[in-house]
Amino acid sequence: MPTTPARPPSTTFPPYLTPGDHVAILSPAGKIDRQVAQRGAAALRQHGFVVEIGPHAFDVAGVFAGPDPARAADMQQALDDPAIKAIFFSRGGYGCLRTHLLLDWTGFLKHPKWLVGFSDTTVFHAFLARHHIASVHGVMTGRFEQHGVPTESFLRLLDLLEGRLPEYLIPAHGLNRTGAGSGIVTGGNLSIIQSLRGTPLDLQPQGRILFIEDIGEHHYHLDRIMHNLKAGGVLELLSGLIVGHFTGMKDGETPFGQSACEIIRAAVAPYDYPVVCGFPAGHESPNLPLLMGAVTSLQVAASGVTIKQIR
Q: Mind listing the pLDDT tens digit of every residue in the chain (311 residues)?
A: 333 444 567 899 999 999 999 999 999 999 999 999 999 999 999 999 999 999 999 999 999 999 999 999 999 999 999 999 999 999 999 999 999 999 999 999 999 999 999 999 999 999 999 999 999 999 999 999 998 899 999 999 999 999 999 999 999 999 999 999 999 999 999 999 999 999 999 999 999 999 999 999 999 999 999 999 999 999 999 999 999 999 999 998 999 999 999 999 999 999 999 999 999 999 999 999 999 999 999 999 999 999 999 98
The SS3 assignment for 277 reads strand
Backbone angles phi, psi at 225, to 5 degrees: -65, -45
- Short-list 136, 234, 237, CA closest to 190: 234
Given this chain, do its domains 22-161 and 167-251+258-310 carry the same CATH topology?
A: no
- pLDDT for residue 8: 60
The topology (CATH level 3) of 167-251+258-310 is: Glucose Oxidase; domain 1 (3.50.30)
* CATH code, residues 22-161: 3.40.50.10740
Angle, CA 128 vertex, CA 122 and CA 134 arms, to 5°: 100
Domain assignments of the chain as residue spans, ordered by start? 22-161, 167-251+258-310
Residue 232 CB contacts under 8 Å (≥ 6 apart), including other chains: 197
- pLDDT for residue 168: 98
- Confirm if 157 and 269 have CB atoms less than 8 A apart: no
DSSP 300: E
Alpha-carbon span 248 to 77, nearest angstrom? 36
- pLDDT for residue 7: 52
Question: pTM to 2 decimals?
Answer: 0.96
298-301 long-range contacts, CB within 8 A, separation 24+: 298/179, 298/180, 298/181, 298/182, 298/209, 298/240, 298/242, 298/274, 299/180, 299/274, 300/176, 300/177, 300/178, 300/179, 300/180, 300/274, 300/275, 300/276, 301/172, 301/178
- pLDDT for residue 161: 98
Q: Which amino acid is at 311?
A: R
First to last CA, the chain: 32
- Short-list 126, 149, 118, CA closest to 287: 118
